[in-house]
A and B are shown apart, each in its own frame.
Chain A
Amino acid sequence: MLDTLKARIYQGKQFIKDIENAPMREQFRGFPVLKKGIDTSVCEGICPTGALNLNPLSIDMGKCTFCGACERACKAIDLTNGYKLASTSREKLIVTPETTYEDYLKSAVEVKKEIVKMFGKSLKLRQVSAGGCNGCEMELNACSNVNFDMGRFGIDFVASPRHADGIVITGPISENMAYALEDCYKSVPAPKLVILCGACAISGGVFQDSEHINREFLDKYPIDLYIPGCPVHPLTFINAILSYIKDKK
């Protein structure tokens, strides 16, 4: 008992107090900043997922695995440590040289009054891994650990879709999971959210050319939030949800 108490006292407080302004290490590869007027021909064919478009220059964060191959090859591309990457619109994930991080933060997530009213104080999510490699899954688990402690904002992962306000999808949606995913979605009581987490879920990522994926679900149902990453960093995920359900004003 005494040992347990000692270990507890030694640990102290571990949580990140201000999660919305938490510092991120320089080395993190996040929001891409693109520069015009630099020769990008060395990047030809370098992108494993086709996220990088050279003419005109743009990066689709929905496809990007943030592997850094283009950044290492060419000075025109800089993957900064900006970790707030989420958007409510698929189109906005495409970053051009004109997009600055500040502008992106202002416009990427469209806050809706009814969402804030309904889910602002409590959002329970059911996670569905549909071909996910366990990278995003581990990071989503980390969201609930003592460091990130997502539960303090009323955001939790729950065991049953019947208890959930929405689903978080990871993975490119394998053929074998397509039925279970749709079944799970139908079991969530309306109104409900669909959140795509990670490059695989948003675009298929490195698996976009696989013959064993089935992404029909995404055409059938509306998507509320896109959270880029490979895998999605816990700070990216928590801030994405907060920006969508909390009213900043």
Chain B
Amino acid sequence: MAKWIKVKNNTKINLSDIPGMGIDELRRQIIELAKRPIGFFGKDWGFGCVRLFVILADDANGDLYLSSAIFGPNDKSYESITQDVPAFHMFEREFYEQFGIEPLHHPWLKPVRLNQDKYPFFEMEGEEVHQVAVGPIHAGVIEPGHFRFMCNGETVYHLEIMLGYQHRGVEDMMLKNPSNQLAESINGDSAIAYNIAYSQAIEALKGIEISNKAQLIRKAALEMERMAIHIGDLGAIAGDIAYLMGAAVFGATRTLVINTMLSFCGSRFGRGLVTVGGVNYDLSEAAIQDALKTFDKVGKDVDRMVNTMLKNSTVMSRLEKTGTVSMERAKEIGLVGMAARSSGVDIDTRFDFPDKWMGELDIKRKPFKASGDVNSRFKLRYKEVKESLSMIRKIFDKLKEYKDEPIIAEGVNNNYSSDAMVISLAEGWRGEIVHIVMTDINRKISRYKIKDPSFNNWYGLALAVRNNGVSDFPLCNKSFNLSYSGNDL
């Protein structure tokens, strides 16, 4: 039997086809393959055993490599992979927390979501060294998390991020009562992306084919979400460098986008739009025309404001060379999504694992000159806003061809396939959102695993603030704008 099977995203896999091997062999294979981890999680395999599933992404070819290893009741440890491939560090910590199997010699084996009172903080000693502790409740209206800075005067030596405050046990809840409403509440700023990832997985397990029209509406909604958040974040970055006009203008521009979403589906964040089997709301011709008019204005407003900002030397002096993550580091720790792209690692599941529309609509990846700093993340957001705008125009144009198609497919109440697994990817505005769903012999969901891009990227923020002033932390933080709820689940 092969050591790995190559699978595609959003495709049903029979559990019996998934190879298994000893953990030592699996570890060797992972290091040899040198691919990007997107899944590394356990499942209770009965009789005290735990089966570890590993999913690696081959971005160049659009394949996913899947394999597994079984731990017997007495196997309570293994040699950690993180020592050789640092990108596994969060995955191994999570696996340890959920199943108690210890990755030996893990350099940073700390809690992920639970046992916060026992969290062993990294300590630094020295005459000039002091600590700054922030959170869980932050100064602004944002989600909770605890940050601890080790500083020498103004300069940050190290930032340690302790999360878990938002833990609601979503993965367990998904077993009992999975629903679109729960999926979109896992991480409310990526409601559409989460809902798409969830729906795609369930559709694959139930064998539902959704209409072209529904696919296109979903795709447009996903790009609108990306656009809205990116514009909002451009404003937030402007706000954090006290360039208030930028904050005001981008804030108002974002309102235009999310109000268009409201007119499409009744929610500013697109809640209730995506459902298993398709979408709940059709886009009328009038609504599309209105939206296109609004988006013309949005495009112009964003162009004008971004260019005004980029010409301003006081703005540039704050953005340039602040919070830099080098390409080598980004690859090493496994950054994903826009954080990776702004450090020059060009991974984007929209292009790496394309659906049929990327070809049909002739949507091409455009190069980006990355520098890894806040400036890079600012400019990447601007670039992606423009790309989303052009994608949405193409999608709306294409939608006309499928005017008469239904928005919801038949078969929504079908049973799940038994003993199956689906790996569903959706490129939210932060990066890849991975939902992995497994069913058992009774056609029930037996494991629901979620990976938010923030799970990979929080450590990138910690690296970004090294050797920067403490006062630049808010700026660095906003330039990433990572999710707490998506990480904590």
Contact = CB atoms under 8 A, between A and B. Distances in A.
27 contacts: A8-B245, A11-B248, A11-B249, A14-B252, A25-B259, A27-B263, A27-B264, A29-B267, A49-B181, A65-B181, A67-B272, A133-B186, A133-B485, A134-B484, A135-B189, A135-B269, A138-B269, A141-B141, A147-B251, A177-B165, A206-B182, A209-B177, A212-B167, A213-B168, A230-B185, A230-B271, A231-B269
A206 B272 CA distance: 14
A48 B182 contact: yes
B19 interface: no
Contact of B137 (A65, A128, A139, A200): A128
A206 to B, nearest CB: 5
A111 B271 CA distance: 33
Interface string A1-32: 00110111011001000000000010111000
B166 A4 contact: no
A149 B165 CA distance: 30
A146 B179 contact: no
A156 B316 CA distance: 30
Contact of B165 (A8, A126, A180): A180
Given A138-B188, A180-B136, A233 B182 contact: no
B271 to A, nearest CB: 7
Contact of A7 (B140, B245, B263): B245
B263 A136 contact: no
Interface string A149-176: 0000000010110000000000110111
Contacts of A141: 140-141
Interface string B251-262: 110010001001
Contacts of A72: 280
A6 B300 CA distance: 14
Interface in A40-88: 48-49, 65-69, 72, 79
Interface string A190-226: 0000000000100001110111110000000000000
Nearest to A159: B139
Most B CB contacts (10 A, CB to CB) among A133, A171, A212, A233 go to A133
Contacts of A174: 165-168, 488
Interface in B305-322: 305, 307-308, 311-312
Interface of B: 113, 116, 136-137, 139-144, 164-169, 172-173, 176-177, 179-182, 185-189, 191, 232, 245, 248-249, 251-252, 255, 259, 262-269, 271-272, 280, 304-305, 307-308, 311-312, 483-485, 488
Interface of A: 3-4, 6-8, 10-11, 14, 25, 27-29, 48-49, 65-69, 72, 79, 126-142, 145-147, 157, 159-160, 171-172, 174-177, 180, 184, 200, 205-207, 209-213, 230-231, 233
B140 A210 contact: no
Nearest to A177: B165
A133 B263 CA distance: 23
Contact of B266 (A68, A200, A209, A213): A68
Given A29-B266, A129-B144, A177-B166, A147 B308 contact: no
Nearest to A14: B252
Top 4 A-B pairs, shortest CB-CB distance: A135-B188, A133-B188, A159-B139, A145-B251
A147 B256 CA distance: 10
A41 to B, nearest CB: 16
A176 B167 contact: yes
B181 A206 contact: yes
Contacts, number: 178
A127 B143 CA distance: 10
A172 B169 CA distance: 12
Nearest to B114: A176
Most A CB contacts (10 A, CB to CB) among B164, B187, B485 go to B485
A27 B265 contact: yes
Contact of A130 (B144, B255, B262): B144
Contacts of B266: 27-29, 66, 68, 79
Contacts of A8: 245
Contact of A135 (B167, B191, B264): B191
Contacts of A4: 245, 308, 312
Contacts of B144: 128-130, 177, 180
A134 B188 contact: yes
Contacts of A160: 139
Given A48-B182, A141-B141, 13 more contacts: A29-B267, A49-B181, A69-B272, A133-B188, A138-B232, A138-B269, A145-B251, A147-B252, A159-B139, A176-B166, A177-B165, A207-B173, A212-B168
Contacts of A133: 185-189, 485
A4 B308 CA distance: 6
A175 B167 contact: yes
A112 to B, nearest CB: 26
Contact of B308 (A7, A48, A126): A7
Most B CB contacts (10 A, CB to CB) among A6, A28, A79, A206 go to A206
A14 B43 CA distance: 53
Given A176-B116, A210-B173, A233-B268, A134 B255 contact: no
Contacts of B312: 4
Nearest to B312: A4
A211 B188 contact: no
B252 A11 contact: yes
B140 to A, nearest CB: 7
A3 B308 contact: yes
Nearest to A128: B137
A34 to B, nearest CB: 18
